[in-house]
């Protein structure tokens, strides 16, 4: 097995394990106090103007409906069109949008190539050697891959370079940028640019399909040339690196939107939520300001009900 192949396996493994662990960790943090921010997307009726069930004087007597579809309807343009950036930061939008579209296309290409590896992988060596031809579906996958690769890398390069220029010239952005902020952008630019170089080195899609075929079947990867090697190493290293950065926001947005900004579930007596809260109220507290009166043994509820207990005495 080649070094590149080992690197890709390791990267994918680390990517999956780290991201899944991060997801599980975030999902298992305690239920927090309500901290919603309106408009809340699952309240379809009131989303347009930002209203909530609290606009009714008898809200507590009614069953609350949450529309998952409502949330999806808001998230799709947010993810694919960067609606928030369009609305609130127009001068950044073009660069951010092209940057993200480039990444989306290359990510989608992975799945197309997996399919390609399975469907035309076994045949690609024969075709190259002059025997047989690709099936219609094979040809579609081949052409689609080519289009995605060229579009993804070209659009992504424009976006990333635009972001680098914007970040370094915009007063607000440059003031809060660190070495890491630029490093990430240059890293991603390297993926796109090396992708373009690889593309122009010839037979890029054939090479990619061979690569995926080898990866899927655990067979040694043939030598696919220097341009491929450079692109594959940079991409592999990036996949390895991503789970340790803020870029995990691509899935953490599930929490920031669904679990915080739109999390408005009221606490109902006798509910599962109430039980969970009661459990958390029994967590011991060690804050050390004198007015808290914590000793590491008293729990949250003991401290918060101190005044009530004083009255009872």
Partner 1 sequence: MKSRVKIEDISKPSKKLTHLDIDDLMPLPPPYDKIEEQPGWKALSEDALENLETSLDDTIAIGIPKPKTQEEEKELVKKFLSGLEKLLTRENNWTFLQPLLLSLEHCAKCQTCTKACPIYEASGKQDIYRPTYRSEVWRRIVHKYLKPGGKFFGRLSHGDIDLNWTTVARLMELSYRCTLCRRCAQTCPIGIDNGLITHELRKVFSQEMGIAPKELHEKGSVLQLEVGSSTGMNAEVVKDNIEFIDEDMKDLTGIEVHTPWDKEGADVLLIHNAGEILAWPENPGAFAIVLEKAGISWTLSSDIAAYDGINYGLWYDDFQLGRVAIKHAEAAKKLGVNRIVVAECGHAHKALTVIADRVLTGDFNIPRVSAMTLLEDIVFSGKIKFDPSKNDFPVTLHDPCNMVRLMGIVEPQRRILRYLCPQFREMEPHGVDNYCCGGGSGFAIMSGHNFQDWRLAVSGRMKLKQVIEAFDDHPEPETKKYLCAPCSNCKGQLRDLFRYYGVQEKSGIIYGGLVELIVNAMVDIKQPFINFDEMQ
- Asked whether position 26 contacts partner 1 by CB under 8 A, the answer is yes
Q: By C-beta, is 136 or 288 nearer to partner 1? A: 288
Q: Restricting to residues 77-96, which ones interact with partner 1 according to CB under 8 A?
A: 78, 82, 84-85, 87-89, 92, 96
* DSSP secondary structure, 186-224, as one string: HHHHHHHHHHHHHHHTS-HHHHHHHHHHHHHHTPPPPP-
CB of 214 to partner 1, least distance (A): 34
3-class SS of residue 89: coil
Residues binding partner 1: what is the number (CB under 8 A)? 89
- Asked whether position 14 contacts partner 1 by CB under 8 A, the answer is no
Q: Which two tokens stand for residue 300?
A: 């949250």
CB of 262 to partner 1, least distance (A): 10
Beta bridge partners of 284: 299
Using CB under 8 A, which of the segments 3-11, 135-143, 147-155, 169-177 binds partner 1? 169-177
Rounded Cα–Cα distance for residues 107 and 100 (Å) = 10
Residue among 183, 219, 222, 223 that touches partner 1 (CB under 8 A): 183
Q: Which two tokens stand for residue 245?
A: 């950065």
Site string for partner 1, 116-135 (x = CB under 8 A): --------------------
Rounded Cα–Cα distance for residues 177 and 214 (Å) = 40
- Asked whether position 298 contacts partner 1 by CB under 8 A, the answer is no
Rounded Cα–Cα distance for residues 193 and 212 (Å) = 21
Rounded Cα–Cα distance for residues 116 and 210 (Å) = 9
Q: Which two tokens stand for residue 106?
A: 């290359």
Q: Restricting to residues 217-256, which ones interact with partner 1 according to CB under 8 A?
A: 245-246, 248-249, 252-253, 255-256
CB of 152 to partner 1, least distance (A): 20
Other C-beta atoms closer than 10 Å to the C-beta of 209 total 29
- Asked whether position 23 contacts partner 1 by CB under 8 A, the answer is no
- Asked whether position 24 contacts partner 1 by CB under 8 A, the answer is no
Q: Which two tokens stand for residue 100?
A: 């993200």
- Asked whether position 303 contacts partner 1 by CB under 8 A, the answer is yes
Residue among 59, 80, 186, 200 that touches partner 1 (CB under 8 A): 59
Tell me whether the omega of the peptide bond preceding residue 39 falls within 30 degrees of 0, making it cis: yes
Residue among 24, 35, 218, 297 that touches partner 1 (CB under 8 A): 35
CB of 13 to partner 1, least distance (A): 22
Q: CB of 98 within 8 A of CB of 159?
A: yes
């Amino acid at each position: 097995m080649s070094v590149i192949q080992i690197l890709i396996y390791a990267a994918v493994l680390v990517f999956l394990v780290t991201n899944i662990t991060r997801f599980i960790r975030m999902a298992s943090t305690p239920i927090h106090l309500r901290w919603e921010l309106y408009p809340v997307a699952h309240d379809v009726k009131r989303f347009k103007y930002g209203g909530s069930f609290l606009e009714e004087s008898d809200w507590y007597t009614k069953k609350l409906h949450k529309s998952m579809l409502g949330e999806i309807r808001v998230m799709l343009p947010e993810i694919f069109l960067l609606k928030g950036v369009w609305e609130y930061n127009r001068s950044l939008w073009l660069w951010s949008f092209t940057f993200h579209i480039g990444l989306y296309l290359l990510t989608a290409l992975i799945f197309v190539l997996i399919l390609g590896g399975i469907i035309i992988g076994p045949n690609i060596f024969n075709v190259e050697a002059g025997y047989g031809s690709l099936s219609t579906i094979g040809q579609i996958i081949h052409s689609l891959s080519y289009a995605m690769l060229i579009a993804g890398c070209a659009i992504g390069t424009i976006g990333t370079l635009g972001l680098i220029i914007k970040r370094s010239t915009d007063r607000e952005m440059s003031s809060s940028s660190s070495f890491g902020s630029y490093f990430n952008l240059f890293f991603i630019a390297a993926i796109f640019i090396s992708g373009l170089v690889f593309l122009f080195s010839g037979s890029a899609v054939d090479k990619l399909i061979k690569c995926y075929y080898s990866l899927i079947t655990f067979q040694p990867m043939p030598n696919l040339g220097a341009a491929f090697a450079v692109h594959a190493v940079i991409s592999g290293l990036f996949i390895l690196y991503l789970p340790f950065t803020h870029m995990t926001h691509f899935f953490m947005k599930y929490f920031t939107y669904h679990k915080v900004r739109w999390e408005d579930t009221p606490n109902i007596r006798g509910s599962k939520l109430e039980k969970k809260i009661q459990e958390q109220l029994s967590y011991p507290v060690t804050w050390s300001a004198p007015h808290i009166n914590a000793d590491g043994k008293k729990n949250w509820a003991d401290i918060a009900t101190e005044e009530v207990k004083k009255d009872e005495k």
